């Protein structure tokens, strides 16, 4: 295949490189195109050094331009004639130095080869890495290529209309001349002139037919592109936006979409200009069976319809309604401000600040008794402008909206007996604007995804569950009756949604093992969970107020607030039930521990470790779960670092040595530890203290005897893992928050501690708060009991 033909078949991105290459006057693209075969056969590299050869090639080039000019004269292409004459004149200026021209043409041919080489390399890479991403890029490149082709066809159409106008002007001139000379001319001359005029009319008629046919083909191409943009690309983007609202990391940038929509809209407005020009030409001259009169109305109607479809689809909600302090978007609270951003994807700078967007609520209210109605308050109208967008898009950014419930004696006047809770009641927020440009006007409307409106912060958790379920399963963006007949979620889809919650909150999702343990909790032990379904009731209603979602969300909140770094590093195994915990730890060395979320305490985390009993058999011990009350006072990594077991007549020790499977504790958590060194000053004004958790070993040996023998029933699993906490394990160790001083002199007897406490009771204002834990950290005992009790009897409090 010839080099120029290969270049013309390149994808759009490389065609842009070709356009940039020929965006100069040294070698016009028209000359390269029309003389491509001859140019590629010549030895331009040798001509750069051979003056005689360069001179011959220049003369042949000028002769070829003359031949091409003659063809344009025969075809009556006036613009091309003019351009060829101009090009020939410029080339003639190289007659004194033809080698320079040869060098220029050789440079262009080499640059073309570089572009083709890049394409070949890219194609080879694409063959080696056939991924979903590359397929998406390929689809985008295909769309870019079609957009570029459409732009070229519109430009050709523009040239054709200009040529038609020139031909009509030529006919008009000759017709007027004929009319002036008709009175004095003889019959033979009149007949000759009339014959010439008839020939010109025939050419005009053929030219008009050709233009109308090309317009129909152009609209066919535009219709295909609009179908691709509206019915595929835009729908895919809306689905990605739905998923991103509930935690997915999908790309929802609209800049590329705006480029495509605007490109098609520009072409359609140019089509309207072409049709207007045809009207003007027909007004100046028409004749019997004029094809423009017959076909132009249908073309006008079709162009208007396509433009209207494109514009109505181009108005979207770029950022869904959300409150600043909400769990996520689409949950709104009455009398609390929320924001939303709309965008029109057809960007015309001349419309900046001229289109006003208005906000309203619930156009079509479901016929459900008790269905609430709301008024939108705040700044309800804004102009679309480019100043409020980071990318320069035409947006209206509403930042100060709020909702107020309309007062009604009995709520909505519904006829349905469907009963929906407040957090299952879905509403839509509408946005309207008017598009007006170049005499074309159309009303545009878009709406938000369904929102849940609450009146109390206690409803937010349940409302967010509704948003998760709705956007996970429904692709009907106006289905406010979704919860009237709520579908179940297939496990793979449900598991993906759960992982998104952790991914969006902590930048680390759930792995396959963690998801499998959650599936085990929901469905019991099975070989394959892919065929299982989770019902809406099982997700958020069963066993209320401690439903599955309440349990899961409690863990999520705890991890986000207190454990994000540890979770992101993969140090928390998390979703592990006790039977799995036993199988993981029983073959590990003494001191191996793992971190898991509590199955019974909402928002609790615990750790279990391996001890070796007197008989040499492993024992698994578990501490009482820590909650946000504990973690708000001591970071979890510090709890693990300083945790101790108090045994009678033994020195307290930390039983946690290796994070599962065998990572030394300090290697795993050392990067999170606080500073180990004290004050560098030689004068110690205060003895530094730190909070730590200790557990007493009471009754542990007796309760662990069954485990040493391997006895005990297997736990029964269910929605909450019923029976999981009744496995034959030791009682959870009793954890107590203590204040500890590293100074051994202060731990030698009970008197110093008693004196310090008495000082605090007698004059608390002059006593350093650093010596005592906060009230919330003290055990459920009054202060006097500590004073009268020996130090070991009160759980080992060291001051």
Q: Are 197 and 173 in contact (CB under 8 A)?
A: no
Q: Strand, coil or helix: what is 353? A: coil
744 pLDDT higher than 60? no
Question: What is the percent of the chain where pLDDT is above 90?
Answer: 37
Task: List Cβ neighbours of 60 (8 Å cut-off, separation of 6 or more).
Answer: 38
Q: Give the model confidence (pLDDT) of 33-69 as tens digits.
A: 888 888 888 888 888 888 888 888 888 888 888 888 8
Q: Are 322 and 328 in contact (CB under 8 A)?
A: yes
Can you give the pLDDT at residue 496? Answer: 93
Least confident interval from 110-124, 142-156, 230-244? 110-124
CA-to-CA distance for 206 and 210, rounded, in angstroms?
A: 6
| β pairing state of 429-437 and 440-447 | antiparallel
The whole-number average pLDDT for the span 741-766 is 42
Task: List Cβ neighbours of 278 (8 Å cut-off, separation of 6 or more).
Answer: 161, 208, 211, 292, 296
Q: Give the model confidence (pLDDT) of 771-799 as tens digits.
A: 334 333 333 333 222 232 333 333 333 32
CA-to-CA distance for 449 and 251, rounded, in angstroms?
A: 18
Sign of CA dihedral 127, 129, 132, 138: negative
Can you give the pLDDT at residue 704? Answer: 40
Q: Strand, coil or helix: what is 652? A: coil
Q: Are 657 and 591 in contact (CB under 8 A)?
A: yes
711 pLDDT higher than 70? no
Burial 402-427 (b: 16+ CB within 10 A, else e): bbeeeeeeeebeeeeebebebbbbbb
The whole-number average pLDDT for the span 586-593 is 88
| Residue of higher predicted confidence among 402 and 92 | 402
231 pLDDT higher than 70? yes
Can you give the pLDDT at residue 317? Answer: 97
Tokens of 735: 């954890």
| Helix, strand and coil in the chain, % to nearest 5 | 50, 15, 35
Strand-by-strand arrangement of the 618-622 sheet: 618-622, 605-612, 592-597, 658-659, 663-664
Mean pLDDT score of the chain: 80
CA-to-CA distance for 750 and 266, rounded, in angstroms?
A: 87
CB atoms within 10 A of CB 650: 9
Q: What are phi and psi of 615, to 5 degrees?
A: -90, 0
Please choose, from the candidates 247, 241, 450, 266, the residue with its C-alpha nearest in 3D space to the C-alpha of residue 343.
Answer: 241
Can you give the pLDDT at residue 730? Answer: 39
Q: How many CA atoms lie within 13 A of 276 on its CB side?
A: 10
Sign of CA dihedral 323, 325, 328, 333: negative
Least confident interval from 89-98, 203-212, 735-744? 735-744
Tokens of 434: 């008017």
Can you give the pLDDT at residue 93? Answer: 84
Tokens of 216: 């129909």
Question: What is the percent of the chain where pLDDT is above 70?
Answer: 78
Across the strands, what pairs with 430? 360, 447
Can you give the pLDDT at residue 718? Answer: 34
Please choose, from the candidates 748, 744, 711, 740, the residue with its C-alpha nearest in 3D space to the C-alpha of residue 728.
Answer: 711
122 pLDDT higher than 90? no
Q: Strand, coil or helix: what is 591? A: coil
Name the H helices within 627-738: 628-631, 636-642, 665-669, 700-703, 705-708
Across the strands, what pairs with 361? 429
Can you give the pLDDT at residue 365? Answer: 79
**Domains of the chain, first to last:** 314-484 (2.60.40.630), 746-794 (no CATH)
CA-to-CA distance for 317 and 336, rounded, in angstroms?
A: 20
Burial 195-215 (b: 16+ CB within 10 A, else e): eeeeebeeebeebbeebbebb
CA-to-CA distance for 290 and 205, rounded, in angstroms?
A: 7
Q: Give the model confidence (pLDDT) of 650-700 as tens digits.
A: 667 888 999 988 899 999 998 888 765 444 444 444 445 566 677 665 534
Please choose, from the candidates 141, 162, 148, the residue with its C-alpha nearest in 3D space to the C-alpha of residue 19.
Answer: 148
220 pLDDT higher than 80? yes
| pLDDT band at 560; cut points 50, 70, 90 | very high
Between the CA of residue 312 and those of 309, 433, 446, 755, what are the distances in Å? 5, 10, 8, 80
The whole-number average pLDDT for the span 262-279 is 94
Q: What are phi and psi of 89, to 5 degrees?
A: -60, -40
Can you give the pLDDT at residue 580? Answer: 84
275 pLDDT higher than 60? yes
Task: List Cβ neighbours of 696 (8 Å cut-off, separation of 6 or more).
Answer: 645, 646, 733, 734, 736, 795, 796
Q: Are 157 and 214 in contact (CB under 8 A)?
A: yes
Task: Indicate the pTM of the whole model.
Answer: 0.69
Q: What are phi and psi of 317, to 5 degrees?
A: -95, 105
Least confident interval from 68-77, 627-636, 732-741? 732-741
14 pLDDT higher than 70? no
Tokens of 217: 């083909």
CA-to-CA distance for 93 and 86, rounded, in angstroms?
A: 11
Can you give the pLDDT at residue 449? Answer: 96
Helix-helix angle 548-558:512-523, to 10 degrees:
150
Can you give the pLDDT at residue 676? Answer: 52
Least confident interval from 1-15, 204-218, 320-334, 454-468? 1-15
Burial class (CB in 10 A: 0-12, 13-18, 19+), 790: exposed
546 pLDDT higher than 70? yes
Name the H helices within 683-738: 700-703, 705-708
723 pLDDT higher than 60? no
Q: Give the model confidence (pLDDT) of 457-515 as tens digits.
A: 889 999 999 999 999 999 888 999 999 899 999 999 999 999 999 999 998 888 888 89
Looking up tokens 């003019």, which residue turns up?
82
CA-to-CA distance for 109 and 730, rounded, in angstroms?
A: 83
Burial 668-707 (b: 16+ CB within 10 A, else e): bbeebeeeeeeeeeeeeeeeebebbbbbbeeebeeebbeb
Q: Are 23 and 108 in contact (CB under 8 A)?
A: no
Q: Give the model confidence (pLDDT) of 68-102 as tens digits.
A: 888 888 887 888 888 888 888 888 888 888 898 88
């Amino acid at each position: 295949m010839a080099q120029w033909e290969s270049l013309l078949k390149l994808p759009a991105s490389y065609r842009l490189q070709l356009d940039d290459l020929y965006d100069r006057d040294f070698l016009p693209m028209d000359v390269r195109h029309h003389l491509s075969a001859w140019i590629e056969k010549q030895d331009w590299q040798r001509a750069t050094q051979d003056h005689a050869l360069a001179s011959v090639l220049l003369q042949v080039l000028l002769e070829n331009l003359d031949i091409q000019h003659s063809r344009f004269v025969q075809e009556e292409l006036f613009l091309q004639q003019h351009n060829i004459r101009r090009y020939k004149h410029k080339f003639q200026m190289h007659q004194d130095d033809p080698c320079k021209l040869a060098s220029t043409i050789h440079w262009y041919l080499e640059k073309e080869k570089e572009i083709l080489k890049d394409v070949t390399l890219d194609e080879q890479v694409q063959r080696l890495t056939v991924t979903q991403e590359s397929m998406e890029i390929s689809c985008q490149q295909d769309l870019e290529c079609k957009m570029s082709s459409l732009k070229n066809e519109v430009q050709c159409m523009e040239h054709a209309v200009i040529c038609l106008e020139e031909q009509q002007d030529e006919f008009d001139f000759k017709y007027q001349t004929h009319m002036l000379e008709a009175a004095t001319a003889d019959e033979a001359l009149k007949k000759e002139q009339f014959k010439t005029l008839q020939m010109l009319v025939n050419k005009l008629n053929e030219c008009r037919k050709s233009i109308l046919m090309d317009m129909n083909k152009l609209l066919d191409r535009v219709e295909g592109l609009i179908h691709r943009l509206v019915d595929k690309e835009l729908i895919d983007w809306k689905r990605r936006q739905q998923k991103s609202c509930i935690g997915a990391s999908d790309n929802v940038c609209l800049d590329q979409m705006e480029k495509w929509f605007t490109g098609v809209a520009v072409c359609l407005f140019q089509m309207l200009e072409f049709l207007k020009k045809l009207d003007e030409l027909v007004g100046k001259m028409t004749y019997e069976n004029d094809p423009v009169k017959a076909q132009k109305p249908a073309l006008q109607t079709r162009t208007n319809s396509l433009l209207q479809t494109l514009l109505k689809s181009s108005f979207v909600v770029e950022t869904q309604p959300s409150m600043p302090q909400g769990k996520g978007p689409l949950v709104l609270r009455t009398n609390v401000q929320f924001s939303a951003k709309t965008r029109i994807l057809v960007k015309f700078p001349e419309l900046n600040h001229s289109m006003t967007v208005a906000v309203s609520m619930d156009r079509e209210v479901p016929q459900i008794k008790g269905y609430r109605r709301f008024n939108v308050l705040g700044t309800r109208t804004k102009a679309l402008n480019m100043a409020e967008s980071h990318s320069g898009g035409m947006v209206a950014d509403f930042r100060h909206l709020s909702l107020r419930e309309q007062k009604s004696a009995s709520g909505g006047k519904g006829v349905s007996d469907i009963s929906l809770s407040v957090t299952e009641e879905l509403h839509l927020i509408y946005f309207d604007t008017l598009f007006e440009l170049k005499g074309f006007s159309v009303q545009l409307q878009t709406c938000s995804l369904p929102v849940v409106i609450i009146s109390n912060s206690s409803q937010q958790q349940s409302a967010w569950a509704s948003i998760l379920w709705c956007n996970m399963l429904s692709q009907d963006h106006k289905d406010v009756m979704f919860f009237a007949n709520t579908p179940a979620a297939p496990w793979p889809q449900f598991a993906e949604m759960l992982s998104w919650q952790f991914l969006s909150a902590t930048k680390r999702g759930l792995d396959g093992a963690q998801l499998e343990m959650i599936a085990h909790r929901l469905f019991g032990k099975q070989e394959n969970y892919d065929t299982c379904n989770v019902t809406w009731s099982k997700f958020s209603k069963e066993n209320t107020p401690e439903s599955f979602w309440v349990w899961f969300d409690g863990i999520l909140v705890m991890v986000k607030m207190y454990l994000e770094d540890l979770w992101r590093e993969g140090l928390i195994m998390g979703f592990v039930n006790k039977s799995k915990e036993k199988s993981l730890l029983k073959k590990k060395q003494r001191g191996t521990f793992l971190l898991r979320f509590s199955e019974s305490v909402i928002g609790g985390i615990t750790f279990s470790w391996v001890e070796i009993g007197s008989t040499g058999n492993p024992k698994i011990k578990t501490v009482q779960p820590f909650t946000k009350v504990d973690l708000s006072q001591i970071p979890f990594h510090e709890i693990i670092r300083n945790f101790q077991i108090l045994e009678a007549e033994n020195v307290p020790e930390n039983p946690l040595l290796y994070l599962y499977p065998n990572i030394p504790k300090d290697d795993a958590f050392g990067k999170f530890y606080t500073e180990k060194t004290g004050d560098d000053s030689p004068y110690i004004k205060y003895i530094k203290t730190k909070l730590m958790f200790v557990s007493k070993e009471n009754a542990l040996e007796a309760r662990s005897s069954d485990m040493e023998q391997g006895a005990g029933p297997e736990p029964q699993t269910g929605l909450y893992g019923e029976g999981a906490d009744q496995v034959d394990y030791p009682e959870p160790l009793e954890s107590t928050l203590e204040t500890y001083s590293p100074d051994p002199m202060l731990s030698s007897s009970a008197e110093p501690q008693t004196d310090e406490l008495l000082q605090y009771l007698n004059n608390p204002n002059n006593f350093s708060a650093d010596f005592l834990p906060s009230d919330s950290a003290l055990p459920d005992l009054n202060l006097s009991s500590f004073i009268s009790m020996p130090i070991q009897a009160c759980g080992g409090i060291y001051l």
